[in-house]
A = this chain, B = another copy of it.
Amino acid sequence: MNYLTVLGLSAATLTTISFLPQMVKTWQTKSAKDVSYIMLITFILGVSLWLLYGILRQDIAIVLANAITLVFNLTILWLKIKYGKTRPRKYL
């Protein structure tokens, strides 16, 4: 495995696991008021296209990274909807 592959896999791992602490924080604090709905939805759309791209190119690294990222971000969106019901939404 050459160093570029290692670099790519490290980058994919970091950007994928980075959403785990956000998921835990949202679950702990029962609040995601400061997290933007539009960011979550746009990001989820983008990650879904990356997943489709990885499947069509049969690239397991792209499929794996984006499938996990998709699950994390759908969970954050679900938690935000669930905890957001009590507060009125004025901003984005």
B-binding residues in A (CB < 8 A): 4, 7-8, 10-22, 24-26, 28-29, 31-36, 38-40, 42-43, 45-47, 49-50, 52-53, 56-57, 91-92
| Contact call A92/B4, Cβ cutoff below 8 A | no
* Contact pick for A7, options B22, B35, B53, CB 8 Å: B53
Complex: how many Å from CA A19 to CA B73?
A: 13
* Assembled-state Cα–Cα distance A11/B43 (Å): 9
Q: Are B11 and A36 in contact, CB atoms less than 8 angstroms apart?
A: no
16 A-B pairs within 8 Å (CB atoms) are namely A4-B56, A4-B57, A7-B56, A11-B53, A12-B46, A13-B46, A14-B46, A15-B47, A17-B42, A18-B43, A19-B39, A21-B36, A21-B39, A22-B39, A24-B92, A33-B33
Whether B10 lies near A49 (C-beta < 8 A) is: yes
Contact A25 B91 (CB under 8 A): yes
